[in-house]
Amino acid sequence: MLRKSLDGLYLLAGWLAGLFLIAILVLMMALSIGREIGINVKSGDDLTAWCMASMAFLGLAHTFKSGEMIRVGLLTDKLTGKAKYVAELFSLVMAAVIIGYFAWQVVLMTYTSYVIDDMSTGVLVIPLWIPQTGFAAGLVILFIAVVDELVHVLGGNKPRYEREPPKTAEEAIERAAASGV
């Protein structure tokens, strides 16, 4: 039940990131076409920037759990046995600490913006906590994903984000093409 809920949370965050990507496309097209036909999309640049931040941070947990996150595998891929296990644990603990601190500070910033009624500057004046929420939510969900993986690895399991190395050159090329690298 908990596993299904967490996986659903990561998938939902990924879908939300995708929706923000579509919003960016729509806004950018509206801005581009609007300039050509003389229509000004007020605060289009601000809206696009807020969508980009939300998209980037909401997509982190899904990317991490899918094994697509850039990580330092040059060392851990060369290790085996106990050394590999310790390196993975160290990496996950450090990631949890750093991301946890970052998430805490961003949530605190968002809450402060809400409490002091901090408003955006520009043509479209809205409370800043609204666009900051996507940023904060993405970091909190990434923190949950990293702690989830840490608990999984502490249980003696292989990290879920780690893939088996490709067996052939063709398989390596297919994986790179599929991941967009």
Torsion over CA of 61, 149, 180 and 71, rounded to 10 degrees?
110
Tell me the two tokens of residue 9.
């949370």
Q: Tens of pLDDT along 24-80?
A: 999 999 999 988 888 888 888 889 999 999 999 999 999 888 877 666 566 777 778
111 in Cβ contact with 128 (< 8 Å): no
| Cα–Cα dist 181/165, whole Å | 16
Average pLDDT, the chain: 88
Record the pTM: 0.84
* 34, 39, 40, 42 alpha-carbon torsion, rounded to 10°: -90
pLDDT over 80 (residue 162): no
Best CA proximity match to 102, nearest among 159, 66, 110, 161: 110
Asked whether 50 and 57 are in contact (CB, 8 A), the reply is no
Pick the closest to residue 117 from 127, 107, 126, 109 (CA basis): 127
- pLDDT digit string, tens, across residues 139-153: 999 999 999 999 999
